[in-house]
Amino acid sequence: MYMLSKELTAASSVSIILCTLIGGESYGYEIIKKVKDASQGRILYSDGTLYPVLRKLEDKELILSEWRIAENQKRRRYYTITAKGIMQLKQEKLSWEFMNGLLNILWAPLPLTSV
């Protein structure tokens, strides 16, 4: 199994995190686990990677956060997507669909060999 490049992972982080939150609120470790599971272990966010993106999304009002005490009595910061975040996610989806289509066209002459 190959790992994705750091550049591609970074470029897709906003879309990935917003998609994760579209299903409901979540906290940092849970987001990391959801992404790891959904990517079959190919995308492994660390705290140092995830939290700066979450802060950026919050600064842009795409998500909201709230500190709460979890069932295990630990403080956790829960993140929720906003209406503005949903609109941004729709734009991100259109952009990624365009890029996917473009790459499929441009890759057409590429010989089909395993990587």
The structure tokens listed for 20 are 């994760």
Pick from 46, 43, 3: which is nearest to 19 by CA? 43
**Is 90 domain-assigned?**
yes
* CB of 27 closer than 8 Å to CB of 79: yes
Q: How confident is the model at residue 113 (pLDDT cuts 50, 70, 90)?
A: low
CB 87 within 8 A of CB 60: no
Nearest to 58 by CA among 102, 37, 28: 28
The pTM of this model reads: 0.86
Amino acid at site 101 = G
Q: Is 60 within a domain?
A: yes
Has residue 65 been placed in a domain? yes
Q: Quick one: tokens of 33?
A: 């686990």
How far apart CA 85 and CA 93 sit, in angstroms, is 12
pLDDT digits (tens, 9 = 90+) for 55-95: 999 999 999 999 999 888 889 999 999 999 999 999 999 99
Mean predicted lDDT score pLDDT of the chain: 92
For residue 114, pLDDT over 70 is answered with: no
The answer to whether residue 114 is domain-embedded is no
> What's the domain count of the chain?
1
φ, ψ at 3 (rounded to 5°): -95, 150
- The CATH number that applies at residue 61 is 1.10.10.10
Residue indicated by tokens 């729709």: 90
What percent of the chain has a predicted confidence (pLDDT) above 90? 77
Whether 34 contacts 20, CB under 8 Å: yes
